[in-house]
Structure 1
Amino acid sequence: MNMIRKISIVTLSLILLTGCGSSIKNTHDDNKLTVGMECNYAPFNWSTTTPDEYTEQISTVDYCDGYDVTIAKKLAKSLGMEVEIVKYDWDNLIPGLMQNEIDVVIAGMTATEDRKEVVDFTDPYYTSQEVVIVRKDSTLTSITDIQELKGKTVKGQLNTLYDTIIDQINGVKHGTAMESYPSLVNDLLNKGCDAITAELPVAEGIVASNPDLKYVTFKEGHGFTADTSVSIAVKKDNTELLDKLQQALNAISEEERQQMMLEAVERQPAVNE
Structure 2
Amino acid sequence: MMARKILSITLICLLMVFVNACSQETNGKDSVPSVVDKVQKNKKLVVGTAPGYFSFEMLDKKGNYLGYDMDLGRAIAKSLGVKVEFKQYKFEALIPALQTGEIDMVIAATTIRGDRAKAVSFSDPYYATGQVLLVSSKDTTSKSYQDFDKEGKKIGAQQGTTGSLYAKGGFKKATIVDFDDYAEAVMALQKGDLDAVIFDEPLVRMTEKMQKGVRGIYELASKENLGVMVPHGDLQTVQWLNSFLYEYLGSTEELASQEKWFKDFDWINDVKQ
**Match status 1:240 vs 2:239:** no
Q: Which has the larger radius of gyration?
A: 2
Give how far 1:272 is off. Answer: 9.8
Partner of 1:180: 181
Within-5 A mapping of 1:22-101: 30-50=42-62, 62-101=63-102
Residue 137 (structure 1) aligns with: 138
Amino acid at match of 1:158: Q
Give the CA RMSD over aligned residues. Answer: 2.3
Give the conservation status (yes or no) of the 8 Å contact 2:157–2:199: yes
Q: Distance in 1 between matches of 2:60 and 2:44?
A: 22
CA distance in 1, matches of 2:246, 2:269: 30
Counting aligned pairs with the same residue, the percent is 24
Aligned length: 228
1:147 is aligned to: 146
Which has the larger share of helix? Answer: 2
Whether the aligned pair in 2 keeps the contact of 1:97 and 1:234 (CA below 8 Å) is yes
1:260 counterpart = 2:261: no
Compared with structure 1, are the counterparts of its residues 185 and 258 closer, same or farther at alpha carbon in structure 2 (3 Å cutoff)? farther
- Contact 2:137/2:213 (<8 A) preserved: yes
Equivalents in 1 of 2:79, 2:91: separation in Å? 27
The runs of at least 4 aligned residues of structure 1 exceeding 6 Å deviation read 270-273
TM-score when scaled to structure 1?
0.76
Distance 1:183 1:198 in 2: 13
List runs of 5+ in structure 1 lacking aligned partners.
Answer: 1-26, 51-61
Rounded to whole Å, the distance in 2 between the matches of 1:270 and 1:211 is 19
Per-residue deviation, residues 66-114 of structure 1 (Å, max 9, x unmatched): 1110110111111212111011111211111111111100001112111
Q: Deviations over 1:205-258 (max 9, x none)?
A: 11110132110022xxxx524x42110011122223222222111112347646
Retained in 2: the 8 A contact 1:206–1:270?
Answer: no
Letter in 2 for 1:143: K
CA distance in 2, matches of 1:258, 1:181: 27
Change beyond 3 A, Cα 1:241–1:30: farther
